[in-house]
Structure 1
Amino acid sequence: MKKRILGFWEIWNMSFGFLGIQFGFALQGGFMSRIFQTLGADKHDIPLLWIAAPLTGLLVQPIIGYMSDRTWSPKWGRRRPYFLVGAILSSIALFFVPYSPALWIAAGFLWILDASINVSMEPFRALVADKLDESQRTYGFVMQTLIIGIGTWVASNLPWLVSEMGVSDAADLGVVPDSVKIAFAIGAFVFLISILYTVFTTTEYPPEDMEEFEREKAKKNRFISDITNNIGNMPSTMKKLGVIQFFSWFAFFTMWSMANPALTEHVYNTPAPIEANFDMTNSADQEAFKIENTAFQKASNSVGSAMGVYGLSSMAFALLFVFYTSKKNVNRKYVHMLSLIIGGAGFLLMMVVSPEQLKYCFMLIGIAWGSILSMPYAMLSSSVDPKKMGMFMGIFNMFIVIPQIIAALGGINFVSGLLGDDAINAMTIAGLSLIIAGLCNFLITEKAAISYQPTE
């Protein structure tokens, strides 16, 4: 079916819900490790505490993709019911996670939060392919990246902004500061409101052949076999993109889980205070702990703020390509390759920068992030059956979560440990991984994936 060419605001409306999703991801990615450290986690244990994020993605996204492919409501459409359910659950989890009284509760909240965000996120990817003509696919995915960039930058700066407004960064042992609690509450509100905006401003196309759709939906107990068959028969482009995704997402998982301990320690020289080093029955030690902990919390605000710059630069990347791809085609392969290598350089420079220069590292990383959020999906959407778009987007998520699972289960500690015990070595490994991902783009040779090919 030839789809109507959509205008800017129509594409903006259908993508706006990603603002909330990215508020959730940015607060999770920028500050969960800080919460874990505040609750007493050792820096070497942090990657494993993050295992919830990739595992829930591995389980949830293929299931939600499969279910949304087989859903249709004349009022709510195909993808929007999942946006709404995920938004409600995510907002509740976001609000309560900084109130966790113990490390295991915070880790449990991360499971709930990440699963809920995935319920909303996966159908958003499929919605772009559902709604847009193939000639607008790159434009649509880049538009999502623009909104994701806005969300990343604003959400990453929330604890710093709240602190600047006078809310305290000081807190007792094992208690998350009020500045973080208020930031997460704001994120929960934005998450829900932005999803509701997309739900009520966007319509969806019904299935092209309703009778065939109903017959497919009536078939029972085919989820496992359908997933297995489609994994076995995935297009070659999808497999090649999977190699690129592996190294890309290993790098970014390393950043999300280890940037706070690495950068507060190496760049700001204010590592998280270790409880065992203080006699908390002694008033002098209590005061010393408070001073060190407040310094760590403020440095964490600064790390989060600097990290938010990667959202800002990905937004600039997306804005440039929104205007360019609305009129012309791009060579997706070489754009993605160059972007990933630039991002890798940003990670490598963290070894030598000052606190004032750290934001420039994240500026380079944002170029890679902007490309990761758009180019692989644009290449993939040109290579799969439109009737199975939700399922294939869910299966494609395997190439995102498997490297994260490997990283969480010891991959980060093992590889960075080859360079030494310093936490900053994890950022070096992230940089090398992104550069390898960039070079793997040479594997992509299919013309339809590299650039939109109009039919005669």
Structure 2
Amino acid sequence: MSGKPQMSFWQIWNMCFGFLGIQFGFALQGGSMSRIFQTLGAEKDALPLLWIAAPLTGLLVQPIIGYLSDRTWHPILGRRRPFFVIGAVLASIALVAMPHSPTLWMAVGLLWVLDASINISMEPFRALVADKMPEEQRSYGFVVQTLIIGIGTWVASNLPWFVTLMGVSNQAELGVVPPSVQIAFAIGAFVFLASILVTVFTTSEDPPEDMQQFMDERKRGNLVVDIVRDIINMPKQMLSIGIVQFFSWLAFFSMWSMATPALTDHVFKAPAPDPSAFDMGIAAQAEAFGSANAAFQNAADLVGSYMGYYGLSSMAAALLLALYASRHVLNRRLVHCVSLLLGGVGFLSMAVVPSPAWLIGSFALVGIAWASILSMPYALLSSVVEPKKMGVYMGIFNMFIVIPQIVAATALGAVLRLLFDNQAIYALLIAGGSLVLAAMCLVFVREPRAALVAAPAAAH
């Protein structure tokens, strides 16, 4: 049993609430960036490479922010919370500006800013759960965090569709992002900042036990040397879980970058029209392009809405896991294996759904995997990491998230073009196979002995 005090549900909820805004940022990015890129003239097979900004920024930012947050102490904001605030302000600015991009290169540049800013807030959040909670409650804490992420995913994914339903136009001139998307991103910016502030004002942090020793260690540190040393000396358990993470995040990056072109084309039969195929000087041609573009934008709205069901499903799965983990021992490895297999089935089924409405079931299965990916690996990892290095190791661990995304960003477009006649639906089949591989790799992961301690009931 850990010496840290037990936390009530509402203490955990407030501590994790900032993840609502973080997930608003990620969900709007995941559901709408390919749509924005295509609206600004990007070719379908170029989309994964345009997305490379997201994982590259994560690869650079996450270990650095984790390292710095381990060595930060502010007399008012504490250790992790200064990074919450900085990231939230920058991300909110990027969210407001993104859908107003006049050119493709500006949208790509803002994606760099947005993803870097989200990462500045996100990595310290992971470490905060491990900082504040005793070992026997950490599964519970990460699952509550996932519950909030699921709420954010579902609401934010549906925002463009909901804004359109409220009467805001879903159409715009050639090369202009529709007003419905612009308003959705502005709402996301407000939610991001507001939810982060809830955590900042309701959750305290404990100062280092020996402040003088903490200050001495901070002075002796060397950022690059220390991070490289920590990577070389990472716990074996981290590497084993990292392999599982590699295949898991390869799958989800494939979905985020290619679900819109894959499903608007394969399921809705409304692909993004190629402006070069139309002579805008001829009225009939211009009208045909407008009709095809309207069909694509409407289909893209529905794809975003259906993707929201993976957030809703992950929310339900996380709620069930939270209720169980608050009272009983949770076999994290078994839960993760079953969840990944169900997610793989969800992706594979998207190629054979008889009608668009069936995508609800497909994304619901994907959401079960998502709930587990956002909680079980971190709970498994937190049991084997030295507490004073929790931030940097959470950041290093996320290398196993961003490296597969870089692989997918650089290779997925070429694979689709060369092997699958540029049919984007195969990206989702690759995603399904990748989740099945991730589940198989769990054979190399062990359940830490400390995790077998029964979690006492949390106060409510």
Question: TM-score, length-normalised on structure 1?
Answer: 0.97
- 2:458 maps to none
Tell me the number of residue pairs that the alignment of Structure 1 and Structure 2 aligns.
Answer: 453
Give the letter aligned to residue 290 of structure 1. G
Distance 1:415 1:172, change over 3 A: closer
Q: Which residue of 1 aligns with 2:164?
A: 163
1:401 Cα deviation from its structure 2 partner = 0.4
Q: Percent identity over the alignment? A: 64
Is contact 1:417-1:425 (8 Å) kept? no
Match of 1:307 in 2: 307
Q: 8 Å contact 2:329–2:453 — kept in the other structure? A: no
1:78-227 aligned at under 5 Å gives the runs: 78-220=79-221, 222-227=222-227
Distance 1:74 1:454, change over 3 A: farther
Within-5 A mapping of 1:263-412: 263-353=263-353, 354-411=355-412
SS in 2 for 1:357: helix
Query: What displacement does 1:413 show?
Result: 3.4
Q: Report the CA distance between 1:438 and its aligned residue.
A: 0.8
1: CA distance between counterparts of 2:297 and 2:445?
44
Counterparts of 1:174 and 1:214 in 2: how far apart (Å)?
A: 53
Structure 2: 5+ residue stretches without partners: 456-460
Letter in 2 for 1:279: D
Q: What is the distance in 2 between the residues matched to 1:413 and 1:309?
A: 29
**Do structure 1's residue 76 and structure 2's residue 77 form an aligned pair?**
yes
Query: What is aligned with 1:251?
Result: 251
Distance (whole Å) between structure 1 residues aligned to residue 436 and residue 454 of structure 2: 32
**How much does 1:447 deviate?**
3.3
* Structure 1: distance between partners of 2:193 and 2:282: 45
For 1:7, give the aligned amino acid.
S
- CA–CA distance in 1 between the matches of 2:344 and 2:179? 34
**TM-score normalised by structure 2 residue count:** 0.97
Whether contact under 8 Å (1:246, 1:402) holds in the other structure is: yes
Deviations 1:86-132 (A, max 9, x none): 00000000011000111101000100000000000000000000000
Decide which moves more: 209-218 or 15-24: 209-218
DSSP 3-state at the match of 1:104: helix
Q: CA deviation at 1:411?
A: 3.8
Q: Would the alpha carbon gap of residues 454 and 349 (structure 1) be closer, same or farther in structure 2, given more than 3 Å must change?
A: closer
What is the distance in 1 between the residues matched to 2:250 and 2:146?
20
SS at match of 2:357: coil
1:32-47 paired onto structure 2 within 5 Å: 32-47=33-48
Q: Structure 1 residue 419: deviation in Å?
A: 4.0
Query: What is the CA-CA distance between 1:446 and the residue it aligns to?
Result: 4.5
TM-superposed deviation, 1:418: 3.0
Evaluate the alpha carbon distance shift between residue 281 and residue 258 of structure 1 in structure 2; reply closer, same or farther with a 3 A threshold.
Answer: same
Distance apart, 1:209 and its partner CA: 2.0
Q: For residues 401-456 of structure 1, what are the alpha-carbon distances to aligned partners after superposition, in whole Å with 9 as ceiling and x for unaligned?
A: 0000011011453268534431101100000000100111111135337x34479x
- Give the 4+ runs in structure 1 shifted more than 2 A: 415-421, 445-449, 451-455
Letter in 2 for 1:325: A
Unaligned 5+ residue runs, structure 1?
none
- In the alignment, the residues of structure 2 paired with residue 103 and residue 369 of structure 1 have an alpha-carbon distance, to the nearest angstrom, of 30
What amino acid is the match of 1:181?
Answer: Q
Distance 1:274 1:207 in 2: 59
